[in-house]
Amino acid sequence: MANLEAIRHSASHVLAQAVLRLYPTAKLGIGPAIDNGFYYDFELPTPLIPEDLIKIEAEMKSIIKENLPLIKETLSKQDAMKRLQASGQTFKQELLADLPDSEAITFYSQGDFSDLCKGPHAAYTRDIKAFKLQKISGAYWRGKESNPMLQRIYGIAFETKDELAAYLTLLEEAEKRDHRKIGKELDLFSLQDKAGAGLVYWHPKGARIRHIIESFWKDEHFRNDYELVNTPHIGQSWLWETSGHLGFYNENMYAPMKIDDQDYYAKPMNCPFHILIYNSSLRSYRDLPLRWAELGTVYRYERSGVLHGLLRVRGFTQDDAHIFCTPEQMENEIFEVIRFSKSILSTLGFDELSFYLSTRPEDSVGDPARWEQAENALRKALSMEGITDYQVDEGGGAFYGPKIDIKIKDALGREWQLSTIQFDFNEPERFDMTYIGSDGNKHRPFMIHRALLGSIERFFGILVEHYAGKFPFWLSPEQFRILTINDSEATLNHAKSTLDHLKCLGFRGTLDDRNEKLGLKIREAQVQHIPFALIIGDKEAQASQIALRKRGEQSTTLLSLDEVEALFKGLQTQKVN
């Protein structure tokens, strides 16, 4: 049996063969295996519509049923070019032209179809037992906007039909949890493309949750011996020239603004500003470590085709921090960051974490001895925290330093990369950062970039999908809603005094005293995923009680106001998820 990657790659070839049978003039782009499936790019005479996937999928099943062998052929580059020219496949000719003349070229053929490809592949088309075409999208040839726009067909493939069915169920659940859908239903945020694509508008309820997260984030940083800084949104061009962003990152930066005959840029990163604060004073080894954190909003140009809700935007707030320390301090600093990250993520509902260590690449900068020292510090810190099952990406670090990435799993088992602990040997050199050591000489500090949530916007999107909009009590923008059964004076007085009392204690709630049926009010509270409905009528008012109904439950419990207060305080303090 072929491995899963080979099955998915072979499925892409079957897709291309089916398209050519249905659209003989189609031009082929590329068709790789990807996570959970495959895709293939085509230039076609007409735009595809979703209904076309049904007939393409049917043709694929026919090809699979034919049980064609996938046969590998090796040709010289010259003979390969002749074959592609004869078939009229211009995009394939372009790919072939980029290969070295001395390289042996491989084709894989199945029946009447042959494709330039390195493999791997299944032995027979019938090895593809469980697949489904998913969607159509546009893709520029080779990712360049100046090239033709092709039509990309995505599919999924698994070894068994049961695995495929399980994945389709997962996709259905993911669609229900889509943060864009829930964000609109709960009125949390919006994206106003007419005013600027990729820029987020936080509505009152979303802004309330953001405030809660940021307040928690700030308080925890103060508790963990960080200081907060705030820096400007723009900086002169020399700053970005010194940092290297204009040389290496310019295409992702917004265009400059001319102010007083100087070019200013919206900041894509916070780190150069923190370095300027560091360099504003002479630093001693006695001052270190310095831990400076900022919820700093940055702006990066992302192509419109990759923008995706809150997960890929152009303006976002990094939960950023930089640690400046001596070589002797860095092991403990890394250990504390790992511990801190685990604590923050656990409180926000993510306990299943994976750790990834990326080491020195070939094109690195900085003293190799410092690289070795930093990598050893990362390894030791992981070990100190009892983390032994981390994955190592040899040579996968940035050119300016090794790093640890922390990924979380959400309620659907999907993995998201959030926290990063990144050494930087580049910026301290570029900005000539120093401290006076115990020997009276100048030394270069170690600089560590550190983010816990990555960005507030992206994290919020992940959080919405993780909880499916049903936020835990301490994060809910509306923690309770009081529902009156009638509009008698006794009922309204009891409802209003209950609301005032709970709000004075810091809890967030509203009063629904409309002259509507209780069932309607309950349904509306359920749709908004409010943790508690507090139902009050004449009976409750006379007994000074409240009928409490918990989110997701059908029954109610009669409680006194003191008991409701104690319940809410416990949930708020414990931050129960």
* Residue of 17, 110, 318, 479 marked catalytic: 318
Give the burial class of 144: count Cβ atoms within 10 A of its Cβ; 0-12 exposed, 13-18 middle, 19 or more buried: exposed
* Residue of 9, 449, 458, 494 marked catalytic: 449
**β-bridge pairing 353-358 and 391-393:** parallel
Q: Which amino acid makes up residue 345? A: L
* Residue of 320, 405, 410, 424 marked catalytic: 320
In the annotation, is 203 catalytic? no
* Residue of 83, 205, 314, 403 marked catalytic: 403
Instruction: Answer yes or no: are the C-beta atoms of 26 and 175 closer than 8 Å.
Output: no
Distances from the Cα of 508 to the Cα of 456, 479, 501, angstroms:
22, 5, 11
In the annotation, is 494 catalytic? no
- Secondary-structure percent of the chain, ordered helix, strand, coil, rounded to 5: 40, 25, 35
In the annotation, is 271 catalytic? yes
- Rounded Cα distance between 237 and 242, Å, is 9
In the annotation, is 503 catalytic? no
* Residue of 271, 360, 422, 545 marked catalytic: 271
In the annotation, is 320 catalytic? yes
* Residue of 121, 322, 360, 379 marked catalytic: 322
- Rounded Cα distance between 365 and 239, Å, is 20
Instruction: Answer yes or no: are the C-beta atoms of 272 and 162 closer than 8 Å.
Output: no
DSSP states along 43-69:
E-SS---HHHHHHHHHHHHHHHHHT-B
Sheet of 545-550, strands arranged across: 509-512, 480-484, 532-536, 545-550, 557-560
CA dihedral 11, 13, 16, 18 (to 10 degrees): -60
- Rounded Cα distance between 399 and 91, Å, is 33
- Active-site annotation, residues: 271, 300, 318, 320, 322, 403, 449
